[in-house]
Structure 1
Amino acid sequence: MGSSGTEDTIAIDVQPAHDFVALSTMLAPQKPESSVCWCLSWRLSSQENRQLTGVARAEKVRALCTREIAPGVLAFRDGEVVGWAGVAPRSELHPFATSRKIPHIDDLPVWSIWCLRVRPGFRKQGITSALIDGAVEYARVCGAPAVESYPVDNGGQRVDLTMAFVGTRAMFERAGFTKAAETTSVAGGIPRILMRRTLH
């Protein structure tokens, strides 16, 4: 996919997430039988999400990694996985495809970035920016006409760490996204907005 780097840092390489073991480093629970998100909560219907528990969630993600279109992108630094971004066609993401809180502003078959995660110990090192850029580039390579995100419009207000995965308006503005619509969705008590970057 590509690399990015700044002075005094090792370049960050962002690749499609076909490597299940690397993706597990970012998403797996300490106990395999624990029913953690595995970044499936935004991909499945609420009924599917409730029914899929424990190791079955890991197996679902393993299967997603084998598809032609990866479930997202991973950031590597010096060969070590350091970050994850969920990016996929919005039509594959049941909660966004059917949301009453986040509008569809037109009929474009857009892709969505819905989750950004950086491993502890690697934060504030440019990895989030590299993930966003890499996710956009992956969507472009796969033919997406535009990419959307649904970050909080926090105006500098501190974002609760448990909700930080949605990103902030400023993060996406730096990556060339612009606000396209209001939403009625909220994360950590802060309103979310719909942002978009047109690719073609």
Structure 2
Amino acid sequence: MHTFHLPCGECTITLEDVHLQLGLPVDGDAVTGSVHSADWGAVCYELLGTISDNIKGSRIEMGWLRDTFPEPDDDSTELEKIRYARAYILQVIGGYLMSDLSRNLVHLRWLLKLVDFRVAGEFSWGSTVLATLYREMCGATRLNKAKIGDIRLLLEQQSEAQVPLVNFAIVEMHQSDRVLRQFGFRQLIPVAPEVLDDHHKIDLRQLHTD
């Protein structure tokens, strides 16, 4: 877990930052679920109305989404608008909110959360994005062999010592007592963080595994 260490003290990116800057909901159900036996071609056809010729494991090219789903016009049917909205959201997720090293692939599991937009709006997408950000920052520190510090999460004046952020199989645990000064509170001596090294290596980002 990582925190930025500045001259003024420790500072971290919080759910409040995600909510205010990106407009994503931070309350609601965790974005998780089982995708072990999904037929991605069938999922793609059912929710987008067409199937890409180049599904890479369980991911799809965002370039194909852009070329296949032009912006709807006044003559577009309601179904065409819904499919365009799903394709557009996939591009936002893969290209901006939760991108990976490919820069042009997005996991089709996100489609499973876009079956009903009303239900999709009840998920805590802000927590999902923040969990991904923390995981990527952790990976960057290992890649660069440099320690940034500890990221901690504070939800207002939350008293719990640990806060879980969930993104499918990714779970990031954070202490809420590290950056109290950032919110104008008195900084107490923080407790020792829980060691989750073995679980921290688990995610769903391999091409052919869930």
TM norm. shorter chain > 0.5:
no
CA radius of gyration, larger in: 2
Whose RCO is larger (CA < 8 A, sep 6+)? 2
Which of the pair is proportionally richer in strand? 1
Which of the pair is proportionally richer in helix? 2
Q: Under a length normalisation based on structure 2, what TM-score does the superposition of the two structures give?
A: 0.27
Q: Under a length normalisation based on structure 1, what TM-score does the superposition of the two structures give?
A: 0.27
